[in-house]
């Protein structure tokens, strides 16, 4: 989630910001909207272990607790969706709306398994699939050094040679998750860190309108 911003593209040009900053801002904006609508809001921040959780409440004081938790959150080197979201459905036992903000860059089956945990408990689910523009479009053409943000593995490749394979792999991965969401009445919203937050907020408000 630390990928994005000017350092994501050779020459220092990028339309977006780091994904984790965008995701943090989106979570804060959603929490503000929900609490001012009178809803109880909780927060779970997951990495490669059981998520850090702020329980669900509906007060303005609680909103500031969520803000503090988000302000202290930083990307970790590793991500394991199945471990990170393990037992999280049980920690939010009351049926409600679950909003997942993630780049979903993990094993496809782990992500689907994690979503099943919420689906089995009959939560409504809204998934924001957040990517940097460079991850979605893969604009790299020259000989480029790619560094895995989690393992630090380095691969040097001609961008134009691997672009089609990269885009196909990402499209296949995304479509499997999208298909599962469609079959289980889960709203799936593709999003990039270059888009206005209002795009995501409108998707949330549309979800609320359909539920009411």
What stretch of H or E contains 183? helix 159-183
pLDDT at 102 over 80: yes
Distance from C-alpha of 140 to C-alpha of 14, rounded to nearest angstrom: 12
pLDDT digit string, tens, across residues 183-195: 999 999 999 999 9
Residue 182's pLDDT band, with cuts at 50, 70 and 90, is very high
pTM: 0.89
pLDDT of res. 58: 92
3-state SS track over 56-102: EECCHHHHHHHHHHHHHCCCCCCCCHHHHCCCHHHHCCCCCEEEEEE
pLDDT at 38 over 90: yes
pLDDT of res. 13: 56
pLDDT of res. 22: 95
Nearest 5°: the CA angle 105, 179, 90 is 65
Query: How many other CB atoms are there within 10 angstroms of residue 64's CB atom?
Result: 11
Strongest mean pLDDT among 12-16, 76-80, 122-126, 148-152: 122-126
pLDDT digit string, tens, across residues 105-115: 989 998 998 89
Of the candidates 132, 204, 203, which has an alpha carbon nearest to the alpha carbon of residue 170?
132
Find out whether 4 and 193 touch, Cβ atoms under 8 Å: yes
Q: What is the dihedral of CA 71, 75, 2, 157, to 10 degrees?
A: 180
pLDDT digit string, tens, across residues 139-163: 889 898 888 777 788 989 999 999 9
Across the range 111-128, mean pLDDT stands at 87
Strongest mean pLDDT among 40-44, 51-55, 113-117, 168-172: 168-172
The per-residue pLDDT of the chain, averaged, comes to 86
């Amino acid at each position: 989630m630390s990928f994005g911003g000017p350092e994501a593209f050779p020459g220092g040009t990028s339309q977006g910001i780091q994904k984790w900053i965008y995701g943090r801002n989106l979570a804060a904006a959603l929490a503000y909207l929900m609490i001012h609508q009178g809803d109880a809001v909780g927060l779970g921040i997951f990495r490669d272990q059981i998520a850090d959780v702020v329980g669900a409440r509906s007060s303005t004081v609680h909103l500031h607790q969520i803000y503090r938790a988000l302000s202290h959150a930083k990307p970790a080197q590793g991500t394991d969706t199945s471990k990170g979201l393990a037992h999280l459905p049980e920690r939010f036992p009351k049926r409600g709306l679950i909003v997942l903000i993630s780049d979903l860059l993990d094993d496809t089956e782990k992500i689907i398994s994690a979503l099943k945990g919420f689906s089995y408990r009959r939560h409504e689910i809204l998934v924001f699939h957040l990517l940097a523009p460079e991850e979605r479009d893969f604009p790299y053409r020259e000989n480029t050094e790619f560094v895995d943000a989690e393992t630090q593995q380095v691969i040097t490749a001609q961008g134009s040679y691997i672009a089609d394979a990269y885009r196909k792999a990402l499209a296949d991965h995304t479509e499997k998750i999208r298909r599962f969401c469609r079959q289980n009445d889960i709203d799936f919203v593709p999003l990039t860190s270059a888009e206005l937050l209002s795009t995501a907020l409108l998707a949330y408000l549309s979800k609320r309108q359909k539920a009411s």
